[in-house]
Amino acid sequence: MTTRAEALAAIKKNYAELTPGQKVTARRFEPADAPGVARLFYQVYGDDYPVDEPYVPELLIEANKTGRIRTFIVTVADGSVVGQAAFYQSSPPNKRFYEYGQMLVDKAYRGTFAVARLHQFAVKNMFGQLEGVDAEFGEAVCHHTTTQKMSRGVKYIECGLELGLMPQTAYAGEGVTGRVSCLLQVRVNAPGQGVLQMPVCWRKQVQALLPRWPLERDEHFSDPACRPPDGSATEMATQHFAFAGVTRLNVSAAGEDFADRLKAELAGAKARGHALVQTYLNLGAPWTSNAAEVLRQAGFFFAGFVPLWFGPEGSGPDALLAQRFLSPQVLADIKTQSEEGAAVVAMVLADMARAGREFGSPQAAPAVPVPTEPLQPEPVLPETVQPKTAAPAE
Amino acid sequence: MTMSIDNLRGLLEEAGVRPELAKSLDPAAPMLRQGIDSIDFPTFCALLEERFGVSLDDATALSLRTLNDFARFLKENA
């Protein structure tokens, strides 16, 4: 098997600029495209993309063969890969919940219809049509509304705001000041049935978002007095995104030690110099309210409700997303394309302010005032969509 | 093929343009100056390719700036 270092060396050795101006066509990935995809990732990210698959052709071919990644490309007559996007398994523990992203276009083809061709191919052939995919999500940057509009057109529904997720450096040259926020948008293809334990402290937010999809949920109000079983251990997966300065916790099961584990994670994130901690909390356990209260008392604020995030078989449990900044941050302008998106932004900002008042949690302040009304997309010439830069694991 | 401006407005709506925007477009003025954005425009072009069997490469598409331009193009090529 080729190593990442060997693959990168081969890419650099064979690297050549593409001939601009050729007509682009979109289609599904084929094994012969793997070196072209690798070249594209190298052009956009250099050596720094945190995952090996795009650089190592055998890995990308295998990932597409197993369905873990569903790559599609835009290509030109000479066979060059000028753009790519993918549906892929990422942070959700539910492996039937795919992320839509990794949209990259060669610099010679930015300002063309390459992005639009990719997206149209996905509209016709992929959204809601992929075998083994019960739900899809995207993280649409908020310093412009292009990605939000593309996602919304294919039934991705706003359900959370990853406030201040990405550092300004990820969008150099775009005139961004401050950390960039991303709207979480989820499309549910197969809602299934499941239990939803409503966390008392954030029930209004969850109840406001829940009707946005036709979910079949057996809803319960989780009793705040219900505690995790004695001696139970928290099941939690931690991801460190060094480039973004983000620690992400996936709490599959909050145990009796949850408060202590959370305290340790916060201390570790602070020691790493991270800006933000995100926690996805499983909403399937009877002691959900207790666990949510642990988060609230630790200064977290509500950031989203994400259906199907945790289900091993795709039917839930759903997740609550809570966030806490570790130091005061400046936020880039937050633009929303829809009323639903604007409502999510208002909901999350209000709860962050509440966390500041009640627990002194560090705040993220917009560099400019956040609009209360959704903005109409600006009339601009066709341009590539800047991908949300994935962050490397430490 | 002769395509009326109103039919083109209908196709813009199919491409995701808000109906009020599609109806308000001045057919003689550049669409990208009237609120049609970088998602709407190529989607509209792709819809025309699919519906009328015409080939619109990027350069040709970007040379068609107004609804009148598109109507003329379809009359000559579809």
- Contact residues, chain A to chain B, C-beta under 8 Å: 21, 23-24, 112-113, 116-117, 119-120, 146, 149-150, 153, 376-383
Going by pLDDT thresholds of 50, 70 and 90, the confidence category of residue B15 is confident
Q: Are A211 and A326 contained in the same domain? A: yes
Q: Which domains are assigned to chain B?
A: 5-77 (1.10.1200.10)
pLDDT of residue A288: 96
In 3D space, the residue among A248, A222, A224 whose CA is nearest the CA of residue A236 turns out to be: A248
Last residue of a domain, one of A75, A107, A130: A130
Tokens representing B75? Answer: 């009359």
- What is the distance, to the nearest Å, from the Cα of residue B31 to the centroid of all Cα atoms in its chain? 8
Would you call B51 an interface residue with chain A, using a CB distance cutoff of 8 Å?
no
Whether residue A232 sits in one domain with residue A93: no
The answer to whether the CB atoms of A116 and B39 lie below 8 A apart is yes
With respect to residue A342, please indicate whether it lies within any of the assigned structural domains.
no
Place of tokens 């709490």: A251
Question: Which residue of chain B comes nearest to A151, CA vs CA?
Answer: B39
Supply the CATH number for residue A33's domain: 3.40.630.30
CA A284 to CA A305: how far, in whole Å?
Answer: 13
Nearest one of A6, A188, A217, A167 to A96, comparing CA atoms: A188
Report the gap between the CA of B56 and the closest CA in chain A (Å). Answer: 9
A356 lies in the same domain as A240: yes
ipTM rounded to 2 decimals: 0.72
**Residue A326 falls inside a structural domain:** yes
Q: Number of helices (H) and strands (E) in chain A: give both, helices first.
A: 9, 16
Residue to test with chain B: of A113, A154, A156, most B Cβ within 10 A: A113
pLDDT average, residue stretch A377-391:
43
pLDDT computed for residue A312 by the predictor: 65
pLDDT at A383: 39
Per-residue pLDDT at A263: 98
Task: Give chain B positions within 8 Å (CB) of A23.
Answer: 57-58
User: Torsions phi, psi of A182, nearest 5?
Assistant: -130, 135
pLDDT mean over A166-182: 91
Per-residue pLDDT at A372 exceeds 70: no
- Strand, helix or coil at A159? strand
pLDDT in tens, A60-75: 999 999 999 999 999 9
Check which CATH number belongs to the domain holding A274 and give it. Answer: 3.40.630
| Residue A297 placed within a domain | yes
The verdict on residue A373 lying in a domain is no
pLDDT tens digits for range A189-239: 988 788 999 999 999 999 999 999 999 899 999 999 999 999 999 999 999
> What per-residue confidence (pLDDT) applies to A355?
98
Number of Cβ within 10 Å of residue A312's Cβ equals 12
Mean pLDDT, rounded, for A154-164: 96
* Residues A109, A246 share a domain: no
Q: Can you tell me which residue has the tokens 């694991």?
A: A393
Segments forming the whole domain that contains residue A10: 1-130
**Do A307 and A214 belong together in one domain?**
yes
Q: Is the pLDDT of residue A377 over 60?
A: no
- DSSP for A164-213, written as a single string: EEE-GGGGTTTT--SBEEEEEEEEES---EEEEEE-GGGHHHHHHHGGGS
Size of interface A-B (CB pairs under 8 A): 52
A360 and A225 belong to one structural domain = yes
Tell whether B59 lies on the interface with A, counting CB pairs under 8 A.
yes
Q: Residue A286 falls within a domain, yes or no?
A: yes
Task: Place A339 in a pLDDT band, splitting at 50, 70 and 90.
Answer: very high
Whether residue A246 lies inside any domain: the answer is: yes
| A81 and A204, same domain (yes or no) | no
Cα(A247)–Cα(A391) distance, integer angstroms? 11
Interchain CB distance below 8 Å, B38 and A117: no
- Are residues A24 and B32, on separate chains, in Cβ contact within 8 Å? no
pLDDT value at residue A296: 98
B45 touches chain A (CB under 8 A): yes
| Distance, C-alpha A119 to centroid of its chain | 18
Q: Is residue A229 part of a domain?
A: yes
Residue A391 has pLDDT above 60, yes or no: no
The whole-number pLDDT of residue A303 equals 98
The Cβ of residue A11 has, within 10 Å, a number of other Cβ atoms equal to 20
Distance (Å) from the C-alpha of residue A374 to the closest C-alpha of chain B? 14
pLDDT score for A388 = 53
Query: Do A201 and A123 belong together in one domain?
Result: no
Q: How confident is the model at residue A313 (pLDDT cuts 50, 70, 90)?
A: low
Rounded Cα–Cα distance for residues A236 and A257 (Å):
11
Q: What is the full DSSP assignment across B8-58? A: HHHHHHHTT--HHHHHH--TTS-GGGTT--TTHHHHHHHHHHHHH-----H
CA dist A187 → A141, A190, A198, A275, B65 (Å): 17, 9, 21, 29, 34
Q: How confident is the model at residue A357 (pLDDT cuts 50, 70, 90)?
A: very high
The answer as to whether A163 is a domain residue is no
Mean pLDDT of B67-74: 95
Domain count, chain A: 2
Reported confidence tier of residue A379, pLDDT bands at 50, 70, 90: very low
Residues A40 and A124 in one domain: yes
- B61–chain A nearest CA distance, Å: 9
> Where residue A368 falls among pLDDT bands split at 50, 70, 90?
low
The three-point CA angle A15-A16-A21 to 5° equals 145
Nearest CB partner across the interface for A149, out of B33, B34, B39 = B39
